[in-house]
Each structure stands twice: as structure tokens, then as C-alpha cells.
Amino acid sequence: MSLHKKGFFCSILSVLIAATMLFFLSATMQTKNKLDNAVASAIELEQTDFARFQIEENIASVIEETMREELAKHNTDSVILNMKISDKLEELLKRFEEHFGCSLYITDGFNRFKLEGLSELSSTIVIEVENELGKGYYAEYVFTGGLLKNKRVVCELKEGSAIAIASIIPGYTTKVIHIG
């Protein structure tokens, strides 16, 4: 083989190797970008899910604390207790709407309604009990979902492309026993 042919062959080979390396570099950079996007999406999803968890835990806490406080004061009227729980829930959810920027509404699965009248979508019972520990009360809050049992309260959270939904669904129940 002549020197020119060897030089030409080496040049072509060098260009092919360089092109292959550039292709792998480009593919690596695209993969890194995809991985970075996936990590960012996972972080958004985790933040949104944590906010949903906070909302759901606070809902349970407000219901339970309200029942305990009212029973400790011997306020045992079921209708009044249900209204107090509903009022405190509405306050809490509106604070979350301001804090997290969530969409807050009541839905029957087809339509969205303004958050109001939660006492009409729930029921609370209070039963006086007496045992060896003394006199006390059993209270139970149930989110019924209305007459058709089809309404639920929704707090829809969005963080970037992540969406999480905190909701109070029909059948959601919290029970408290107060002795004393």
C-alpha cells in the first residue's frame, strides 16, 4: 500500500472514531438531561405528596380535637358539634388553599361546587356511656357525602407537572371516647 493510501485510510478511520465518540457524547448528554428531568419530576411529586399527607393528617386532627374539646366542655348536642367540626374544617381547608395554592372544591364526580355547607354532608353522633371508669361520651363524625352519598371534598395540589389530591370521601369516620 502506498503512503497516500495509508494516510487516507488513517484519516477516514480517525474521522469515524471521532464521529462515534461525538455520537456517544451526545447520547450521554441526552441521557443525563432525561435523568435530571426525572429527578426533578420525582422531587416535585414527593413535595406534592408530602403536602397532601399534611392536609389529610390535619383534617383528621382538627376533627378529633374539636370533638375532644367540645366533649370536655360537655357540649354533647350532635347537631351543634357537627356544625363546629364543619366550620373548623372549612377554616382549615381555606388556610391550606392560601398556603399551598390548591384548588378547593366539592365534587359529585361530574360537577365542582364551592366549598360550603360541609355540615350538610356530614353527621355526628354523641352517645352518653357509663362504665366502671365513670360517665363519659362516645362521639363519631362521619362524612356522609350528602343524601346520595356521592359528594367529596377535594383539595387538588399542583407542583410543576405533579398533581396530588387530598380528599374527604363518603364514609370517612373519626371516633372519640371521652371519660370524665
The rounded distance, in Å, linking the Cα atoms of 62 and 56 is: 10
Q: What is the pLDDT of residues 21-76, one digit of tens each?
A: 888 888 888 888 888 888 888 888 898 899 999 999 999 999 999 999 999 999 99
Domain count, the chain: 1
The three cell numbers of residue 80 are 351543634
Question: What is the extent of the structural domain holding 92?
Answer: 3-179
Which residues have CB under 8 Å from 125's CB, separation 6+? 78, 139, 140
The rounded distance, in Å, linking the Cα atoms of 61 and 174 is: 10
Are 90 and 115 contacting, i.e. CB atoms less than 8 angstroms apart? yes
What predicted TM-score, i.e. pTM, was given to this entire model? Answer: 0.77
Mark out the alpha helices in the chain (DSSP H runs): 3-72, 78-100
What number is the average pLDDT over the span 88-97? Answer: 93
The pLDDT of residue 2: 56
